[in-house]
Amino acid sequence: MRTLRWNTLGGALVVAALTCVQSGRTAPESSNIERLQQLEPGIVAFVARCDDDVVKRGRGLTDAEAALAREVGVAHPERVRILVAPDFPEPDDPQLAQFLDRLGPAHPVAETTGYGIQLTLRVATSRRILLHELTHVGQIERLGAEGFWHAYLVELVTVGYWHSTFEEEARDNEHR
């Protein structure tokens, strides 16, 4: 399994472009890359605000959930908080909201923002979804929040959600 660990836009784009060539997918449009460069600071700030909210309002992990977190590489499961809510916050900036809507799945059921994990009611008790989201917490710990969000967003723009190495790792951990 390949994990993207570059924290410069140029380096991450080279890796993503090579991934496109190796897989036979087309390279990303330069307009999407330019748009990401413009919007990334706002996206990272929005995600940080969401994480603060989930961490303040969410519950801690149970002992069994903390064990799962350690199993998928979370170094500090005691910091993780889960918030179950009917929907996810949207950015106030319509440009950010529109850009983010195009990057992920059409109807997300869970969202990890750092140590905060937000789940919809539909998946609140899903072990598989929890393992997936805990994997993202571990990734964020390994790369740091800014490094993770940068690399993750670059992958979403260049190879797409379903081909992101971060999402592949999370899917691989869903059935532990």
List the domain boundaries for the chain: 35-173
Angle value at C-alpha 37, between 158 and 112, nearest 5 degrees: 70
pLDDT of residue 28: 53
pLDDT at 7 over 70: no
Compute the mean pLDDT over every residue in the chain, rounded to the nearest whole number.
86
pLDDT at 145 over 70: yes
Q: Report the greatest alpha carbon distance in the chain.
A: 46
Segment among 18-27, 50-59, 92-101 with least mean pLDDT: 18-27
Q: How far is CA 87 from CA 109, 155, 172, in A?
A: 8, 25, 26
Could you read off the pLDDT of 87-121 as tens digits, one per residue? 899 999 999 999 988 888 778 899 999 999 999 99
Segment among 38-42, 96-100, 144-148 with least mean pLDDT: 96-100
Please tell me the pTM assigned to this model: 0.83
Position 121: which residue type? L
pLDDT at 1 over 60: no
Segment 127-151 mean pLDDT: 97
pLDDT at 22 over 50: no
Q: Of the spans 23-27, 84-88, 117-121, which averages the highest pLDDT? A: 117-121
Three-class SS string for the chain?
Answer: CCCCCCCCHHHHHHHHHHHHHHHCCCCCCHHHHHHHHHHHHHHHHHHHHHHHHHHHHCEECCHHHHHHHHHCCCCCHHHCEEEECCCCCCCCCHHHHHHHHHHCCCCCCEEECCCEEEECHHHCCCHHHHHHHHHHHHHHHHHCHHHHHHHHHHHHHHCCHHHCHHHHHHHHHCCC
Contact criterion met (CB below 8 Å) for 159 and 16:
yes
